[in-house]
Amino acid sequence: MRVFARQVLLPSGWQQDMCVEITGDVISNLSRSPQADHTVDLLVPGFFDLHNHGGDGYDAGQPSLPDLRRFLDAMYACGVTDMLMTLSTGDPAKLKADFQFVREAMRLQQEGRLGGTHIWGVHLEGPFLSPKRPGAMVASQLLEPDIGRFRTLFGAQLDLIRQVTLAPELPGAAALAAWLLSQGIRVQAGHTDASYEAACEAFSAGIDSVCHTFNASRGIHHREPGVLTAALLDPSVYCEAICDLNHLHPAILRLIYQAKGPGRMLLVSDSTMPTHCPDGVYQAANHPVIVTNGVKRTPEGALSGGSCYLDQAVRNLAAHQIPLADAFTMASRTPASRMRMDQLGSIRIGGLARLAGFNRDLTAAVTISGENQVFVS
């Protein structure tokens, strides 16, 4: 299969009038031939969303297969070829069932019986979070970090867990983070009240990312710089950013971009069940969510998940002085690099053929995962 684009985003930057040839699941050649099965204005690596809880009526905390199919198809239509499914703080027995559901979904995808965005595993957000910074989490369900407790709760799921978010300042967090890293699991700081000093120590020990930067976190004060200052100043640390323009002001998005650059700023949706749904009152993640003008809040007024998928996040950044190539990169290559998954996130010969095509107005045109999984908008 051949895809021709007027502009193709390669690791070296934009290239004009290029054809990407696909054999099976792999990019087999790059040429100038205009003969193609699909033609688009812009062709970029497929997006990789490391942080989402659902959307289009699907709730990772109350999963059903029909809802999952709809969600994965909706994400895929937006150019998101790959994802981690985020499971958050909740009842241990319920979490066990949620893990089993993800395992079954991944099996169905391997067998070719479930399409849409590819699930690579689980991002576990909690339960080892700060009760001072619960965000939309239920504070009574948070736990103190402990290796033994983690193994009891999640030991049977280690093969599924790709990333864990925890509060590094909590007693036992350093030991748990070190153990998780030894298991090949990425660890990031989130829902945290960490001081600058505690955060620097955590980053030096291997925690290398911050969950939804500026949200559910200690803020920046000129005499108490906190975890955010430590993250923005450390060139090795990645920073997630919810780019729906509700969680972060455009100036803060530009601040993160200026501090981290496209290689360390991560676009995430943090989408939840009501994302892409009409305004109304929903039950999501076991608590009520009120959606007004697309913005989701708990009854207490806390923001409760992102309001858009990554295609809109890219459009939002491009509309606020972020170079388009960098916006695309922060939704694709940067998350792939964060997860040490070099087969994803770039258009190169030998890489997996995960591609997203866009029109000039940045609306999605085609999403491709190999020759046999093509969606045309």
Closest alpha carbon to 195 in 223, 162, 159, 160: 223
Dist CA 168 CA 337 (whole Å): 22
pLDDT of residue 14: 98
Give the residue ranges of DSSP H helices in the chain. Answer: 65-77, 92-110, 147-154, 173-182, 196-204, 226-233, 250-260, 310-318, 324-330, 333-338
Asked if 304 and 136 touch (Cβ cutoff 8 Å), the reply is: yes
Q: Is the dihedral of CA 8, 11, 14, 19 positive or negative?
A: negative
SS3 state of residue 21: strand
Phi-psi region of 261 (alpha: psi -120 to 50; beta: other; left: phi over 0): left
Q: How many helices (H) and strands (E) does the chain have?
A: 10, 20
Structure tokens at 122: 């689980």
The partner residues of 161 in beta bridges, in order of sequence, read 122
Buried b (16+ CB within 10 A) or exposed e, 357-371: bbeeebebbbbbbbe
Asked if 53 and 60 touch (Cβ cutoff 8 Å), the reply is: yes
pLDDT of residue 264: 99
pLDDT of residue 6: 98
Residues of the chain with CATH 3.20.20.140: 47-343
Mean pLDDT by 10 residues, the chain (377 residues): 98 98 98 95 99 97 96 98 95 93 98 98 97 87 96 97 99 99 99 98 99 97 98 99 98 99 99 96 86 93 93 99 98 99 98 98 98 93
Residue for token pair 């969303």: 49
pLDDT of residue 366: 98
State how beta strands 47-49 and 80-88 pair. parallel
The matching CATH number, chosen from 3.30.1490.20, 3.30.1330.90, 3.20.20.140, 3.30.230.10, for 47-343 is: 3.20.20.140
pLDDT tens per residue, range 320-366:
999 999 999 999 999 999 999 999 999 999 999 999 999 999 999 99
Bond into 235 cis (ω within 30): no
Asked if 308 and 269 touch (Cβ cutoff 8 Å), the reply is: yes
Q: Is the dihedral of CA 302, 136, 235, 354 positive or negative?
A: negative
**Strand ranges across the sheet with 265-268:** 47-49, 80-88, 118-125, 161-166, 186-189, 209-210, 238-242, 265-268
pLDDT of residue 170: 98
From residue 52, alpha-carbon distances to 38, 193, 221, 349, 373 in Å are: 30, 22, 29, 30, 22
For 126-245, list the strands marked E by DSSP.
Answer: 161-166, 186-189, 209-210, 238-242
pLDDT of residue 267: 99
Asked if 8 and 20 touch (Cβ cutoff 8 Å), the reply is: yes
Dist CA 338 CA 307 (whole Å): 23
Q: How many CB atoms lie within 10 A of CB 202?
A: 27
Q: Which architecture, in CATH terms, is 1-45+345-377? A: Roll (2.30)
Residues of the chain with CATH 2.30.40.10: 1-45+345-377
